[in-house]
Structure 1
Amino acid sequence: MTHDTYDVIVIGGGPAGENAAAYAIAGSDRTAALIERELVGGECSYWACMPSKALLRPAHLLSAARAMPGVSEGLAPGGLKRDAVYARRDAFVSKHDDSSQVQWANNNGIEVIRGSGRLAGERLVRVGDRTLQARHAVVLATGTAASIPDIPGLRAAFPWTSRDATNMHELPKRVVIVGGGVVACECATWFAALGADKVTLLVRGQSLLPKAEPFAGERVASSLRSHGVEILFGTSPQSVDRPAVRDTGEGKIHGGPVTVDLGNSALEADEIVVAAGRAPSTNGLGLATVGIEEGRYVEVDDHMTVRGAKGNWLYAVGDVNGRSPLTHMGKYQARVCGDVIAARAEGHPFEDPKYRATADLHQAPQVVFTAPEVASIGLTEKAAASEGYDVAIAELDIAVAGSALSRDDFDGHAKLVIDKKTRCLVGATFVGPDVGELIHAATIAVVGAVPLETLWHAVPSFPTVSEVWLRLLESLRDQ
């Protein structure tokens, strides 16, 4: 058994882990090890953000082209060319070759170690038969994994998870999707766009995107239905049966037809996709060796230091800490974490706000790349009320010169949630084509606590969709 020492050891080589390692040793002679059991670059690069958006974007562009006179007439008949879409997707995930990511790590002074890392005591990490020791910090960045509900026959049916759906090589003609959140809605969007004959969403609750403003889920549901997607609310599988099941590999149909019992009826499909949430990847991580409970999210303070661990050497960033399960927020946490590690290693004070992650609590932006897109930041009206805010609301359809010029069928809606006491935004939601490009302005307004009186002087360019900001502010003049 060998014994190696590094200044910083990071378990988990996704975007959060990469950023934590890079920031912790930047501009110094400190050493870092990045431990990864699969692909360096993690879930986002190969199985989530990148491949899903590569599947969704072609459909958005085709829809926009069909809504533009002078362009629509020149379109070839038919829909998307699946092979070309898959090929572009495969290029973005580098065909699951992480050599460029490994080269990036090496170029930044980070050693990549293949294997499953686990804690073995204070500042100790085991990888296979090796024991590594950290001089300054160990960072947990192991993320989450798709949850499979405990439904009779479901696991035995080898259902698809988001990994299969984003990396599909065979399109199921009939597909049942279990869930009504972001992953389920995006999956339904690209299955329909790529030519599935029947897409059915089984939603346990009564709305899509339940954490968003109600109008967001309603508009996404309406759009999905217009593209032939069936949505069954208040519905969960009672059991699943698939006699001819086969492990055919990621993104390939896993055997023969699957029957989903709904209690009073049944559905037969070529594949079932489970998009029913995620669980932290902490089992087997050795947390018990440092007094932390296994199998749960790892609680951290705003420095990303793990609560309950003695000393200031153990950190957790990204989805594994449960604060904000978004890639960009995990990277944000990692930048804070890396700076804190560096400051502590060098004996520098770290009272400055840059050493505390706060935006991942109520100031996290998110874009759902459905058609229409849903872009949001901060609190919904309901969440703000439950937090005790006295709020004013600005809400209207997006109907400005810029939206009309962008496409003939533009249909969108916007809502601002304002704290009456401070006159600052605490939340914003936009729904419509390409509204993801609007959300950063709202993010700056929320994070910067910009009062309405100042926002009046942030004049939107004409003719852009951003002119909706002027209309929203105008609606507040008498409030």
Structure 2
Amino acid sequence: MTDAGRTSEYDVVVIGAGPVGENVADRARAAGLSAAVVESELIGGECSYWACMPSKALLRPVVARADARRVPGLRDAVRGPLDVQAVLAHRDDEASHWKDDGQVAWLESIGADVHRGTGRLTGPREVSVTAPDGTEYRLNARHAVAVCTGSRAVVPDLPGIAGARPWTSREATSAKEAPGRLVVVGGGVVGVEMATAWQALGSRVTLLVRSGLLPRMEPFAGELVAEALTEAGALVRTGVSVTSVHRPTPDGPVTVELDDGDRIEADEVLFATGRAPRTDDLGLETVGLEPGAWITVDDSCRVEGTEWLYAVGDVNHRALLTHQGKYQARIAGAAIAARAQGRPSPDTGRWGAHAATADQVAVPQVVFTDPEAASVGLTLAEAERAGHRVRAVDHDLASVAGAGLYADGYRGRARMVVDLDREILLGVTFVGPGVGELLHSATIAVAGEVPIDRLWHAVPAFPTISEVWLRLLETYRG
């Protein structure tokens, strides 16, 4: 650690040590550059402690039990409730008990220096660090500063909201017990995943949504997930908005008022209503940018108009997903190293080899509900709005031989969106038990722009759910 009041110099300074910042530092170090990482919370970031890892630890036993209950000879063995304490204990293990020793050790193992404290830009290539004890010192970057501060949950400004102490995704993934009654506001990924988890763990869940569930996927994805949640015992209400929230006493119930005049009483209310960039107190004004705003970047994640400032991951608003942020980090790290070493792309003479093209054309996502929903690329509506001449090809997943073997009463659906002019796939969506593991094949097809004629020769193994690829292609060919 640098002494108070002193200045240290590195090739690259990274603000934010989540998965994105860690990967930028790793790529810089792999290229022989020195790197410092500044973090005000836990090394490992949102994904490790309050998002991907704990949420999936909560959901895995829920989905495994649901799958087992559909298998003849096994369903009677899993009729009972989940062992909530065992599930939460496993969640705690996956979140490393909210301690970051292992993550710190990894960063140190690659030769990156870890600086605990709040990092702020103070000018070009300059970062001030305020340590936990209040001391301040400066880090200068010879080549690049990478802003990797991520995003935070947005809680709407409603009457009574402050005193109601609502949950955000952080509280929903780290709660120590299941609330008796839980209201979830928002039908996006966080809303449906947490509704699925806590309903199975013993809460009586009410899900409130303005329109449909999973609005960024094909409409049938949200419809199938809503149907399953209802069958599991959750109350799904669409077409409603929350107008106020009240918790008269600190330990008492919370009342949620709706725009149709209805009131719902619950023990906790979770708002899963969007994300905002963590750029409010970052010193962006010192380099001509707007505090609190998303940061616009080019395809190498470099801030336009600068040669030294990068914004990587959620903070640039290109694709708010951990795996996309890590992908961007690999691109940005390579671009920083190439510029630092004066190595333009040999094929173009520019920096075009270091471009995060998948952020526009091939973003994969899995929603770990029961059933799972998985998609990559454009939906039919998005492709049509973009001006493509397209055709949607649908198939009932239940008709595939592997689905019947996977589970009795298997329900699911698949869609591929075909560009009719180029005969390639622009998007693919699967909904059904176990479909998350189908998604990478779709991602390869979309990202690689594999022609339909070549996909015909990618033979799926029998009897697997992947045979749906054959059925989709047969349907397209007629």
Shorter-chain TM-score tier: over 0.9
Which residue number in structure 2 is paired with residue 358 of structure 1? Answer: 357
Unaligned runs of 5+ in 1: 246-254
| Distance 1:466-1:352 versus aligned 2 partners, 3 A rule | farther
- Please show how residues 8-27 of structure 1 align to structure 2 within 5 Å: 8-27=12-31
Superposed displacement of residue 410, structure 1: 1.4
Residues 24 and 337, structure 1, Cα contact 8 Å, conserved in 2: no
Secondary structure (helix, strand or coil) at the match of 1:476 reads: helix
- Structure 2, unmatched stretches of 5+, are 131-135
Q: Shift of the alpha carbon at 1:25?
A: 2.0
SS at match of 2:242: coil
Partner in structure 2 of residue 387 of structure 1 = 386
Identity between Structure 1 and Structure 2 (%): 54
Residue identity in the other structure for 1:178: V
CA distance in 2, matches of 1:394, 1:83: 44
Q: Are residue 181 (structure 1) and residue 188 (structure 2) matched?
A: yes
Correspondence for 2:329 among 323, 326, 334:
334
| Cα shift at 1:407 | 1.3
1:117 match: secondary structure: strand
Q: Among 192, 205, 222, which residue is 1:199 paired with? A: 205
In the alignment, the residues of structure 2 paired with residue 93 and residue 187 of structure 1 have an alpha-carbon distance, to the nearest angstrom, of 16
Q: After superposition, what is the alpha-carbon deviation per residue over 1:185-228, rounded to whole angstroms, capped at 9, x for unaligned?
A: 001000111111x2111112x21111110000100110111111
User: What CA deviation, in whole Å up to 9, does each residue of 1:144-202 have, x standing for no partner?
Assistant: 00001011111221101110111110211111111111100001000111111x21111
Pairwise CA distance, 1:354: 4.2
Deviation at 1:102, TM superposition (A): 0.3
Equivalent residue number for residue 108 of structure 2: 106
> Structure 1 residue aligned with 2:304, among 304, 307, 311?
307
Distance in 2 (CA, whole Å) between partners of 1:114 and 1:78 is: 46
CA–CA distance in structure 1, aligned partners of residues 74 and 225 of structure 2: 26
Q: 2:245 aligns with which of 240, 243, 248?
A: 240
Q: Say yes or no: does 1:72 pair with 2:75.
A: yes
Question: Structure 1 residue 159 and structure 2 residue 162: aligned?
Answer: no
Which whole-Å CA distance do the structure 1 matches of 2:36 and 2:114 have between them? Answer: 6
- For 1:249, the equivalent position in structure 2 comes to none
Is residue 2:61 matched to residue 1:55?
Answer: no
In 2, distance between residues paired with 1:371 and 1:362?
A: 27
Distance (Å, rounded) in 2 between the aligned partners of 1:394 and 1:453: 16
Runs of 4+ in 1 over 4 A off after TM superposition: 351-354
Question: What CA deviation, in whole Å up to 9, does each residue of 1:397-438 have, x standing for no partner?
Answer: 112111111111211100000100100000000000010100
Per-residue Cα deviation, 1:353-406 (whole angstroms, up to 9, x for no partner): 541111011310000011110000000000000000000121011121111111
Partner amino acid, structure 2, of 1:410: Y
Structure 2 CA distance for aligned equivalents of residues 179 and 362 of structure 1: 26
SS at match of 2:47: helix
In structure 1, the residue matched to 2:122 is 120
Partner Cα separation in structure 1 for residue 100 and residue 82 of structure 2: 29
Task: Give the one of 89, 95, 98 matched to 2:97.
Answer: 95
CA distance in 2, matches of 1:409, 1:346: 59
Q: Is the 8 A contact 2:166 2:268 kept in 1?
A: yes
Contact 2:335 2:351 in 1 (8 A): no
Q: Following TM superposition, by how much is the alpha carbon of 1:7 offset from its aligned partner in structure 2, in angstroms?
A: 0.7
Separation in 1, partners of 2:301, 2:156: 30
Q: Give 1:137 shift.
A: 0.5
1:46 and 2:45 aligned: no
Q: Which residue of 2 aligns with 1:256?
A: 252
SS in structure 2 at match of 1:165: helix
Aligned Cα root-mean-square deviation (Å): 1.1
Name the residue aligned to 1:225.
Answer: 230
Question: Which stretch of the first structure deviates more once superposed, 4-13 or 231-240?
Answer: 231-240
- Contact 1:25–1:342 at 8 Å: present in 2 too? no
Q: Is the 8 A contact 2:361 2:447 kept in 1?
A: no
SS in 2 for 1:439: helix
Task: Indicate conservation of the 8 Å contact 1:137/1:313, yes or no.
Answer: yes
Residue 133 of structure 2 corresponds to none
Q: What is the TM-score when the length of structure 1 is the normalising length?
A: 0.95
Displacement of 1:27 in angstroms is 4.4
1:42 deviates by 0.3
Amino acid at match of 2:190: V
User: For residues 41 and 447 of structure 1, do their structure 2 counterparts lie closer, same or farther at Cα, with a shift above 3 Å needed?
Assistant: same
Partner of 1:463: 463
Opposite residue 363 of structure 1, the aligned amino acid is A
Q: What is the aligned partner in structure 2 of residue 2 from structure 1?
A: 6
Distance in structure 1 (CA, Å) of the matches to 2:277 and 2:183: 25
Cα distance between partner residues in 1 of 2:408 and 2:80: 21
2:290 pairs, out of 293, 318, 321, with 293
Contact 1:46/1:96 (8 A) holds in 2: yes
